[in-house]
Structure 1
Amino acid sequence: MVLLAMGITMNSLTGLGASAIVSVPFTVSEATGLSFGDLTLIVYILFVGAEFVIMGKKSSWTYLLQIPLSIVFTRIMNLIKAVLPYESGNLPVDLLVLVIAIILTGVGAAMTVDMALIPNPGDGIVASISARSGRELGLCKNILDLCCVCCSLIIGAVMGNPLMGVGLGTFISMIGVGRVIAVFNALARTGLRRMAGLETAEQKA
């Protein structure tokens, strides 16, 4: 979870646009000056509601546990943003930080979902879409990211600048995070779940 928070926050600090999944609250934050973490919390609560709609009768009350988790998670994001001394402006360095951010985000998201713990709502909604559609988790992540970026462009356009919270880094992360999840799961998911006893438990069930 900390890796995920670091990845999302570092992405926003590059000056190349926020990570796609949080591009909507980042765009609103840039336009209004409101807290990025607080706006992200609002979006995460909406994601939890969407999970109930997507899963229908297969929904679980445990989805609601994502809300207190989101409160802690977004406070960690605010803390990381406050303590990281990074200043954007050097494109090669910004791109390097972006790559690190994408890797951290993808690995953090994959590990959280794979361990069957309470997920971050951004990952929980992806897992719900994947479970309902039968599609691979990384692909569902790419699709949701695309939807978020489109919403950010629309919100930015209404506020006078379509690219207010969207940049090169947003589009790179939109593709990159989903692919990192897919590669990580292909290489490590089975082994991690076996080490955690999750594969054995599922087989016995």
Structure 2
Amino acid sequence: MSKAELVRRYIFFIVGLFVNSLGIALITKGDLGTSPISSIPYTLSIGFTPSLGMFTLYFSLLLIVLQLAILRKNFPKEFWLQIPVSLGFSYFIDLSMSLLSFVHPQSYPVKAVFLLVGCLVLGFGVFMEMAANVVMLPGECTVKAISTTWNTDFGKTKVAVDVTMAATAAVLGLILYRELTGVREGTFVSALLVGAIARTFNKQIGEWIQSLLSVKAGVDIPEQTR
């Protein structure tokens, strides 16, 4: 891979990170829950001072520690790139939430629109992240660490991790606030839609994007994403 292609891929990936964060912000602003990967940080951010972005950073670092515990000496050197990526992603989340600070939908149909638009945007961001093929976010790296160590299917492992995160967020909400807060119907809708949307983008424009990035073939999108 040439340096020029690598630069293009990283630029594409960084833009994809922002698109990801914008999708998460739109879903969150819909007030029907958030994506599974963001459910724990969002639940904690509701009642405590640090922002959603900062809690996302803390949670990302925790996932990296979990990967180290799972992989040990097999921890790939490129996985250390998760740290600067997590810093940038957390900043983008807070930026996106700030840009949408004026959004406060009241009626359920409007909230549903924000949820669906957010899923579409997040799905495109996930497609960009995977198409860049340079580094993954901690959520995906954790799934890869588990599936590699115990030889499990990536897609099924992703579903199990998402369910675990959503369930943990639900328990946290019940303990901290005596109600379900970060996890609602929107969490399950995003879990179902985002991966399908990402795969659709890959099918429709994956080869074209790869040609722009100087790679002939498209990429495979995991069955389930954030």
TM-score range, shorter chain: 0.7 to 0.9
Distance 2:27 2:157 in 1: 20
Q: Offset of 1:141 from its aligned partner?
A: 3.7
**Aligned-pair distance for 1:71?**
1.2
Distance 1:94 1:168 in 2: 11
Unaligned runs of 5+ in 2: 1-16, 218-226
**RMSD after superposition:** 2.5
- The residue identity in structure 1 corresponding to 2:97 is K
- Distance in 1 between residues matched to 2:154 and 2:204, nearest whole Å: 14
> Where has structure 1 moved over 6 Å in runs of 4 or more?
none
TM-score (norm 1): 0.83
| Structure 2 partner of 1:62 | 78
Cα offset, 1:6, TM superposition? 0.3
In 1, are the aligned partners of 2:170 and 2:183 still within 8 Å (CA)?
yes
The answer to whether structure 1 residue 100 and structure 2 residue 117 are counterparts is yes
Partner amino acid, structure 1, of 2:115:
L
- Aligned partner of 2:170: which letter? L
User: Which residue of the other structure, out of 53, 67, 92, is the alignment partner of 1:76?
Assistant: 92
Unaligned runs of 5+ in 1: 201-205
Work out the CA distance in 1 between the residues paired with 2:214 and 2:145. Answer: 22
2:192 matches 1:175: yes
Cα–Cα, structure 1 residues 147 and 188, in superposed 2: closer, same or farther, change >3 Å? farther
**Corresponding residue number in structure 2 for 1:151:** 168
Normalized against structure 2, the TM-score is what? 0.76
Contact persistence 2:63–2:138 (CA under 8 A)? yes
Shift of 1:104: 1.5
Listed as ranges, the matches of 1:1-205 within 5 Å are: 1-55=17-71, 58-84=74-100, 85-129=102-146, 133=151, 135=153, 137=155, 139-198=156-215
Q: How many residues align?
A: 199
User: Structure 1 vs Structure 2: percent identity of aligned residues?
Assistant: 25
Answer yes or no: is the 8 Å Cα contact 2:19–2:122 preserved in 1.
yes
CA contact (8 A) 1:130 1:136 kept: yes
Q: Does the Cα contact within 8 Å between 1:113 and 1:127 map onto a contact in 2?
A: no
